[in-house]
């Protein structure tokens, strides 16, 4: 007589439990993955901004006889720097002072360098300012959040001394 009640596999309940556990772990892993990707983009923006800033400072020291306007804000073409995936920025008045990478627009300003996180031509969650100190005062670099995700990222990257609230915060490193 055959035994119809012998167990030779998994029940539907056991399979569903495994699928649910895998889905929960994948959800946690995906969130961590997205955060680590955005942290790497943030670091890429800092490197691009600091590269442009250092090149502008070298330009200032190599050309001490320029007028104040040229000396304080050199055009990108005058700088001895090349960024991978570097392209010209959108057609604005700052176009000559700006270079665009895949994730950022880096603009030379009178006070230093401004780095905006962009996707296409849309400003994203955060930006930061890197100050040159050529005016004799070196300010601490600033991370400016435009959203709650941007504020979280600024905090995660060490910019914890913040003013403002909610999505709009200006943070400095302590």
Domain range enclosing 74:
12-172
Residue 1 resides in a domain: no
As for how many domains the chain has, the answer is: 1
CB 106 within 8 A of CB 44: no
How many Å apart are CA 170 and CA 156, to the nearest integer? 14
Residue 4 resides in a domain: no
Residue 68 resides in a domain: yes
E strands present in the chain: 87-88, 98-100, 104-108, 112-119, 122-131, 142-145, 161-165, 168-172
pLDDT digit string, tens, across residues 117-163: 998 778 889 999 998 877 666 688 999 999 888 988 899 899 988 88
In degrees and rounded to multiples of 5, residue 168 shows phi and psi of -100, 100
pLDDT digit string, tens, across residues 100-123: 888 999 998 888 899 999 987 788
Residue 112 resides in a domain: yes
**What pTM was estimated for this model as a whole?**
0.78
Residue 28 resides in a domain: yes
């Amino acid at each position: 007589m055959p035994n119809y009640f012998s167990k030779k596999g998994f029940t539907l309940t056991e399979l569903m439990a495994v699928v649910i556990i895998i889905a929960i772990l994948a959800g946690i892993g995906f969130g961590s993955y997205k955060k680590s990707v955005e942290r790497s983009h943030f670091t890429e923006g800092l490197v691009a901004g600091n590269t442009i800033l250092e090149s502008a400072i070298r330009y200032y020291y190599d050309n001490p006889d320029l007028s104040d306007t040229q000396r304080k804000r050199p055009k990108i073409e005058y700088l001895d720097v090349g960024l991978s995936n570097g392209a010209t920025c959108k057609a604005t008045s700052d176009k000559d002072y700006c270079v665009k990478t895949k994730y950022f627009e880096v603009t030379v300003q009178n006070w230093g360098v401004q780095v905006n996180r962009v996707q296409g031509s849309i400003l994203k969650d955060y930006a930061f300012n890197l100050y040159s100190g050529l005016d004799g005062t070196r300010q601490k670099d600033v991370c400016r959040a435009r959203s709650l995700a941007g504020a979280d990222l600024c905090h995660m990257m060490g910019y914890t001394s913040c003013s403002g609230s909610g999505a709009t915060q200006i943070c400095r490193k302590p």
